[in-house]
């Protein structure tokens, strides 16, 4: 699919973002079973085309524009007022681009080993579903895409995963499905109550419902909880996180990359779009709960990650901690916090995605992920060690790399809103340095013995796969302004929306302002020097 040829303003680019991977999946299913390289080529082309479309969305996106762009609407079940309603704003824009970039990388990076046809088909279906979640502005459509994502991921973990894959896959599916069971009831109730209150026809249009704010306060709080449960499982927020370490560890490399990079963001994105926007009062009301859980997640994730013996499980628990930061920023309810959270969603996708890729590469070479059995890899694979270090430092939040910008904004936002939470969360940054540096030290430093001594270094394909992620890590760390600029109108509008609909709420503002956000390296945490 040529992007240039179809670059007319009326081209329905968002439906195309969803349909291109699905069409690719269809091609893969119909493709020859005995020619996995051909299937892979098809899958790569489909994801690259989707990625190109998402970049086109990024370029064509009006940076200063408010509201939703590229909107399109087609009736689905007219009788119930459900329609295919799509649109992009600064909040979903970068998640769509992140999805567009991560999928081709995940597909290029690893081969499934068996049943290639089903593997690539499920990957492509997964991409279509994820794009659907980020682009949907109709509550039912959002729910459909939110749920359908489970099926491909379930099969990816269960069929191509490691040892305990069946258990992990089933746990993942049931946790998430049980979590979102009540959300459907919430969505339908919301639509009926909205229709009752406004006297209009039944509609599931997010913008119409959110702008009207027609639901009574008490009811809205219950509905918010129904939504929040689904998102909290998906994020996951402590104590609903127990599916995550299993799913991440047992998933195949590409599955872990997508799971951590994109799928977890469905929950945090859900909180922004369907929590804050739909139920501002309830979000404000319950914010302390989520702030506490966010902080607990940061500390708990970090502590548990420190204890891990399995490198992949360590990265998985580090996700729990990172997502705690995103939750903290989101529920700080000010521009810095939300922007930081959003940025952190993208950063976490890049850094943790890259970490999972690297762990997967080590596993392919050494057939183990036990930290004990690795050691001194730096000598045999200096390039791999170097890349790992950059990615790890970005995950820690070293200034100059992408992780810092997001965490800094989150901490600034939280500090302005709830000072002590920020203090505790900053401790989490130190802990992150502890467990990641310690893991790095054990895996890459020291004497290399046995198989560790002659482990091959990165090959060209692996280098090419990692290069874009590394570039993003550096670029977003040094010059995040273009990203923040595009996010800001949407985030400002969201904060204003909260101010407008919550009595007595005023944005906890900062005297620092967003404009002096770090363009260059500031003084980072002292202990980050130990990595060198």
Interface positions with another protein (CB under 8 A): 76-80, 140, 143-145, 147-148, 150-151, 154-155, 158-159, 165-166, 169-170, 173-174, 177-178, 181-182, 184-185, 188-189, 192, 226
Instruction: Report in angstroms how near the CB of residue 167 gets to another protein at its nearest.
Output: 10
- Contacts within 8 Å (CB) and 24+ apart, 38-46: 39/116, 39/117, 39/120, 40/107, 40/111, 40/116, 40/120, 42/120, 43/107, 43/120, 43/123, 43/124, 44/104, 44/107, 44/108, 46/20, 46/21, 46/124
Nearer to another protein, 117 or 284 (CB): 117
Residue 136 β-bridge partners: 86
**Which residue, 158 or 406, has its beta carbon nearer to another protein?**
158
Write out the two tokens for 532: 């060198």
The structure tokens listed for 331 are 């529920």
| Shortest distance (Å) from residue 123 CB to another protein | 16
Q: By the 8 A CB rule, do 95 and 346 touch? A: yes
CA–CA dist 123, 110 (Å, integer): 12
**Whose CA is closest to 202, among 85, 81, 82, 83?**
81
Report the residue number, 59 or 201, with the smaller CB distance to another protein. 201
Cα separation, 248 vs 81, whole angstroms: 38
Among residues 106 and 125, whose Cβ is nearest to another protein? 125
To another protein, the closest distance from the beta carbon of 217 in angstroms equals 17
**Closest distance to another protein from the beta carbon of 407 (Å):** 35
CB of 29 to another protein, least distance (A): 9
Q: Which is nearer to another protein, 147 or 339 (CB)?
A: 147
Question: H/E element holding 70?
Answer: strand 69-77
Toward another protein, which CB reaches closer, 145 or 259?
145
Residue closer to another protein (CB basis): 155 or 415 = 155
In whole angstroms, how close is the CB of 158 to another protein at the nearest point? Answer: 4
Smallest gap from residue 440 Cβ to another protein (A): 34
Angstrom CA distances, 317 to 5, 6, 249, 311, 322, stand at 44, 43, 10, 10, 9
């Amino acid at each position: 699919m040529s992007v240039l040829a179809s670059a007319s303003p009326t081209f329905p680019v968002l439906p195309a973002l969803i349909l291109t991977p699905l069409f690719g999946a269809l091609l893969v299913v119909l493709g020859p079973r005995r020619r996995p390289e051909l299937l892979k080529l098809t899958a790569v082309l489909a994801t690259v085309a989707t990625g190109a479309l998402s970049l086109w969305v990024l370029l064509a996106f009006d940076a200063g524009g408010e509201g939703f762009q590229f909107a399109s609407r087609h009736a689905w079940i007219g009788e119930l007022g459900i329609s295919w309603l799509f649109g992009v704003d600064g909040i979903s824009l970068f998640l769509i681009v992140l999805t567009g970039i991560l999928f081709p990388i995940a597909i290029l990076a690893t081969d499934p080993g068996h049943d290639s046809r089903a593997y690539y088909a499920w990957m492509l279906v997964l991409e279509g579903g994820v794009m659907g979640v980020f682009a949907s502005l109709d509550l039912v459509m959002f729910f459909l895409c939110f749920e359908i994502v489970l099926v491909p991921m379930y099969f990816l973990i269960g069929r191509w995963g490691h040892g305990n894959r069946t258990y992990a896959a089933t746990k993942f599916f049931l946790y998430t499905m049980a979590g979102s069971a009540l959300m459907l009831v919430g969505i339908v109730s919301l639509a009926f109550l909205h229709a009752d209150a406004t006297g209009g026809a039944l509609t599931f249009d997010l913008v119409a419902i959110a702008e009207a704010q027609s639901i009574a306060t008490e009811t809205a709080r219950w509905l918010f909880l129904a939504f929040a449960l689904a998102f909290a499982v998906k994020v996951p927020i402590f104590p609903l996180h127990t599916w995550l370490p299993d799913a991440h560890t047992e998933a195949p490399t590409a599955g872990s990359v997508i799971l951590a990079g994109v799928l977890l963001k469905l929950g945090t994105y859900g909180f922004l779009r369907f929590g804050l926007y739909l139920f501002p009062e309830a979000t404000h009301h319950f914010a302390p709960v989520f702030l506490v859980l966010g902080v607990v997640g940061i500390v708990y994730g970090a502590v548990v990650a420190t204890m891990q013996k399995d490198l992949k499980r360590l990265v998985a628990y580090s996700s729990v901690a990172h997502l705690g930061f995103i939750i903290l920023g989101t529920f700080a309810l000010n521009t810095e916090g939300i922007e930081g959270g959003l940025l952190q969603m993208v950063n976490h996708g890049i850094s943790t995605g890259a970490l999972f890729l690297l762990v997967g590469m080590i596993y392919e070479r050494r057939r183990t992920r036990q930290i004990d059995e690795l050691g001194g890899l730096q000598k045999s694979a200096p390039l791999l060690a170097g890349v790992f270090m950059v990615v790890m430092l970005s995950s820690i939040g070293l200034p100059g790399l992408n992780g810092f910008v997001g965490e800094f904004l989150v901490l600034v936002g939280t500090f302005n809103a709830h000072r002590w939470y920020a203090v505790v969360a900053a401790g989490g940054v130190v802990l992150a340095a502890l467990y990641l540096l310690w893991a790095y030290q054990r895996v890459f430093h020291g004497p290399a013995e046995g198989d560790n001594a002659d482990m091959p270094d990165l090959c060209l394909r692996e280098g090419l796969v990692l290069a874009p992620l590394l570039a993003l890590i550096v670029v977003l760390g040094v010059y995040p302004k273009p990203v923040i600029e595009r996010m800001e109108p949407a985030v400002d509008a969201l904060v204003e929306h909260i101010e407008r609909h919550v009595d007595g709420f005023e944005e906890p503002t900062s005297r620092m302002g967003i404009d002096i956000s770090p363009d260059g390296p500031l003084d980072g945490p002292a202990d980050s020097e130990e990595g060198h």
